[in-house]
């Protein structure tokens, strides 16, 4: 690979798949319209070019060893001469701080409030979350820019000029993906990362109960999970329940045939501090695709949505509702 020039930007993520909607489609492709962009992301350890962007593939972060290996690869690449280095993961904070102390212009992109998420996972996780928060706060002073995906994340830090909000809004398409014809059987669609606190297990249990009551309800789950135990659970559901389909992670183009089979979407997030004030982008997706939707009673959902907007609320975590 030729040496980068002063006109080259490096974008790096050690855990996101290369065609992540925010990182690749919204940010990398936008920057590529004006700059030369090199991009490091998870891509089965292979390298290729897409839309004029040179992509260096990293291994899937299946364990601590591969995660550290990816981080070290990114650290070494960033030692080259780049105009800006844009990183995306909490585990790359230490890498970014090393670069910043060496005088390199670093931009950090905070996708979610990791401390709020880890705060529910026990004392060790809470300790890790507090450590990450300290690194984030150091980054707000040392990085060239500190991007936040939600305005509510400003409350996590003292006021500083480096904080910039870039919201993770959907790309609006005036043509709905689905038509308004009734579907039989009724099919519920869940799109997003799969986990307990995101309500994936609740949805599966709720559909099972509805079916036991005599209604032929189907479920499509689109999304991945970083928890190996939960991946095993998803694979077991997919194998044992004929009414459930789990596709794993899909690009938007790959989602379209599945979206067209759906009758309504569901956004079942639990009452977790990180979710209570974060924009419900999945609901915006369902609206954009032309789907009615069910949503859990988070504070921000109640502010934005009601039955008059095409949605119906239910108590978060209540599978009987």
The token duo for 189 is 């669609």
Which helix H or strand E contains 36, and what residues bound it? strand 36-42
pLDDT of residue 171: 67
Q: Tally Cβ neighbours within 10 Å of residue 64.
A: 8
Q: CA torsion sign, 186 to 189 to 194 to 196?
A: negative
pLDDT of residue 174: 58
State the span(s) of the chain assigned CATH 3.40.50.2000.
8-165, 186-314
Question: Cα separation of 138 and 148, whole Å?
Answer: 15
CATH of 186-314 among 3.40.50.2000, 3.90.1720.10, 3.10.580.10, 2.30.110.10: 3.40.50.2000
DSSP string, 224-241: --S-HHHHHHHHHHHHH-
Q: Tally Cβ neighbours within 10 Å of residue 165.
A: 13
Taking a C-beta distance cutoff of 8 angstroms, is the pair 275, 302 a contact?
Answer: no
Q: Of 78, 197, 97, 183, nearest to 140 (Cα)?
A: 97
What's the pTM value of the predicted model, to 2 decimals? 0.78
The token duo for 219 is 């479920």
The token duo for 220 is 């499509």
Taking a C-beta distance cutoff of 8 angstroms, is the pair 6, 81 a contact?
Answer: yes
Q: Of 166, 170, 168, 149, nearest to 286 (Cα)?
A: 170
pLDDT in tens, 162-171: 899 888 776 6
Residues with pLDDT less than 50, the chain: none
Q: What is the homologous superfamily of the domain 8-165 according to CATH?
A: Glycogen Phosphorylase B; (3.40.50.2000)
Q: Under DSSP, is residue 54 helix (H, G, I), strand (E, B) or coil? A: strand
Which DSSP state fits 21? Answer: I
Integer angstrom CA distances of residue 196 from 98, 107, 168: 35, 31, 23
pLDDT of residue 124: 81
Q: Tally Cβ neighbours within 10 Å of residue 314.
A: 17
Question: Cα separation of 287 and 284, whole Å?
Answer: 5
pLDDT of residue 205: 97
Q: Of 43, 72, 73, nearest to 60 (Cα)?
A: 43
């Amino acid at each position: 690979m030729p040496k980068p020039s002063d006109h080259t930007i490096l974008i790096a993520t050690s855990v996101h798949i290369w065609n992540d909607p925010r990182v690749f489609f919204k940010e990398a492709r936008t920057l590529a319209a004006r700059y030369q962009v090199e991009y490091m992301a998870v891509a089965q350890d292979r390298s290729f070019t897409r839309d004029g962007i040179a992509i260096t593939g990293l291994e899937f972060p299946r364990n601590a060893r591969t995660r550290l290996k990816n981080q070290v690869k990114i650290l070494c690449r960033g030692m080259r001469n780049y105009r800006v280095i844009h990183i995306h993961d909490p585990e790359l904070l230490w890498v970014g701080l090393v670069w910043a102390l060496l005088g390199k212009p670093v931009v950090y992109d905070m996708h979610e409030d990791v401390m709020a998420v880890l705060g529910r996972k026990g004392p060790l996780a809470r300790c890790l979350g507090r450590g990450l928060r300290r690194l984030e706060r150091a980054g707000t002073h040392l990085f060239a820019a500190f991007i936040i995906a939600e305005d509510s994340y400003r409350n996590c830090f003292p006021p500083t000029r480096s904080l910039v909000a870039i919201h993770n809004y959907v790309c609006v398409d005036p043509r709905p993906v689905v038509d308004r014809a009734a579907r039989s059987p009724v099919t519920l669609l869940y799109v997003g990362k799969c986990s307990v606190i995101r309500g994936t297990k609740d949805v599966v249990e709720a559909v099972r109960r509805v079916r036991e009551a005599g209604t032929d309800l189907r479920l499509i789950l689109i999304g991945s999970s970083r928890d190996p135990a939960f991946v095993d659970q998803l694979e077991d559901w997919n194998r044992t329940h004929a009414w459930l389909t789990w596709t794993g992670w899909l690009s938007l183009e790959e989602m379209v045939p599945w979206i067209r089979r759906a009758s309504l979407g569901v956004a079942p997030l639990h009452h977790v501090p990180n979710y209570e004030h974060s924009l419900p982008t999945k609901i915006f997706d369902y609206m954009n695709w032309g789907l009615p939707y069910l949503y859990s009673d988070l504070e921000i959902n109640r502010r934005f949505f009601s039955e008059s907007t095409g949605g119906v609320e239910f108590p978060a975590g209540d599978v009987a509702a």
